[in-house]
Amino acid sequence: MKPSARSKSSAHRPRLFGEPERPANLHTAHIDGAARGNPGPASYAVIVRRPDGSLLKEIGKYIGRATNNVAEYYALIAALDFAVTAGIAHLRVLSDSELLVRQMQGLYKVKNADLRPLFERAKKLAAGLAYFAVEHVRRELNRDADALANEALDRTSSNSRIQGIERSGTPAASSEARKSTPKPRRATREDAIRVRARYKNGALHPAEPLDLLDGADVDLTIRRRRT
């Protein structure tokens, strides 16, 4: 039986976007941007994993007042910058921002004047990699990046200084070694903080702002400095 004209035409129709075969040594980056208000205080997060799934790098940074879409592009650029610096040639980026993903895929036009230069920078960095792909994922599959972006915002809101978060994963190891090695614990607010302070008028005055929540209870160990 002859194929219908419709099936024959669809079989030979060229794809709008090519789908190159994924390389075996593919790194993956989950990215996210956060803004409390639109615009408002904003941050971004990048979590990069090696081809075997082990953690390579976590980056979270406050970027000041911006929209959520701007923060998303900052996250993408940070992921690409890290890939270039670390010598990563094959990168797959996962984002829950449909706008960013569709614009990078060429499906949506970039009409916003604030996004245009960020889009051009991201496109230029991506073109320098041997393999680059960006894909949309549901928000629940991007929770770690979302939590890291909010952690960067929380740290900044509790402190007058602009702070960043940068953590490296353990070095690449065999699968057996990874099974026997416990995952490193993330730093918490209960961790010790060493602070210089001056005692004056019956009170201690820290020499620099403290990364503490208002009303937090702390234990103090006083050691007199030698002058």
CATH number, position 80: 3.30.420.10
Section 60-75 average pLDDT: 96
Residue 49 inside a domain? The answer is: yes
Residue 42 inside a domain? The answer is: yes
Residue 50 inside a domain? The answer is: yes
Half-sphere CA count of 63, side-chain side, radius 13 A: 27
DSSP state of 110: -
Residue 34 inside a domain? The answer is: yes
Q: Which two tokens stand for residue 18?
A: 């090519």
DSSP state of 23: P
pLDDT tens track for 70-121:
999 999 999 999 999 999 999 999 999 999 999 999 999 999 999 999 999 9
Residue 21 inside a domain? The answer is: no
Residue 73 inside a domain? The answer is: yes
pLDDT tens track for 20-44:
678 889 999 999 999 999 899 999 9
Residue 18 inside a domain? The answer is: no
Count of structural domains, the chain: 1
The whole domain housing 78 covers 27-171
* Closest C-alpha among 164, 214, 220, 217 to residue 194: 220
Length of the chain: 227
Residue 177 inside a domain? The answer is: no
Half-sphere CA count of 197, side-chain side, radius 13 A: 17
Q: Which two tokens stand for residue 121?
A: 């920078």
Q: Produce one character per residue of 200-225: b if its CB has 16 or more CB atoms within 10 Å, e if not.
A: eeeeeeeeeeebeeeeeeeeeeeeee
Residue 143 is predicted with a pLDDT of: 96
Distance CA 157, CA 62 (A): 10
